[in-house]
Amino acid sequence: MRLVLVGPPGAGKGTQAQFLAAHYSIPHISTGDIFRANLKAGTPLGLQAKGFMDKGELVPDSVTNEMVKDRLTHDDVANGFLFDGFPRNVAQAEVLRAILAEKKTPLHAVLEFSLANEEIVARLSSRRTCKECGQPSVGHDKCPQCGGDVYQREDDKAEVIARRLEVYQEQTAPIVSFYRNEGLLITVGALGSVEDITAHAISALSRVSE
């Protein structure tokens, strides 16, 4: 299964991506996670991305697309993949379509998680992230997954959240129409329990032929 997850920041894409990737036995490719891992390791890619990430802006397409192109050469994508946080604009969606067309492995579906703006702001401002494993959580002093210390991501602070939402509306929301026109879009409501949302997504995807 070759999937893309779309949705505003805080819609729970990362959490759903983990469950869906496990369900379909495909790698979960989060461009945000790759950037954060590079940042932590102090690589040139991480340093390039940092300024943009801290401000809630998109990392330039030239950097992001090269990173994705490279990721798609790894052996683990042979049976599919799930992108979370990529593409983030129509130009990236076009690059992804071209890469996959060349490999004759087009997408099967694009899952959109929809959520009202007030709920997004409430979720993001109370979200904490594990320093060790990167797992997001709300209302915990220690990571509920691995027990590591949690911190507030620089881009989950109020000023940056507002900018990330603007960036989503201006740059990312247009990919929803792009994928609707391609006949790939499936929309799932992102309000409810994690388990219910995963079940809805899997049920909707069961109607997609691989």
Going across the sheet that includes 127-130, the strands are: 136-138, 127-130, 150-151
Residue 31 buriedness (CB in 10 A; 0-12 / 13-18 / 19+): buried
Give the nearer residue to ligand AMP in terms of CB position, either 73 or 209: 73
Choose which of 20, 26, 58, 124 interacts with ligand AMP (CB under 6 A).
58
The answer to whether residue 6 forms part of the interface with ligand AMP (CB under 6 A) is no
Residue 86 known to bind ligand = yes
Going across the sheet that includes 81-84, the strands are: 28-30, 81-84, 2-6, 109-114, 185-189
Quote the least distance from Cβ 206 to ligand AMP, whole Å: 26
Report cis status (omega within 30 of 0) of the bond before 136.
no
156-175 residues near ligand AMP, rule: CB under 6 A: 164
The answer to whether residue 9 forms part of the interface with ligand AMP (CB under 6 A) is yes
Positions annotated as catalytic residues are 13, 88, 127, 153, 164
Q: What residues form the annotated binding site? A: 10-15, 31, 36, 57-59, 85-88, 92, 127, 130, 133, 143, 146, 153, 164, 192
What residues line the site for ligand AMP (CB under 6 A)?
Answer: 9, 31-32, 35, 52-53, 56-59, 64, 85-86, 88, 92, 155, 164
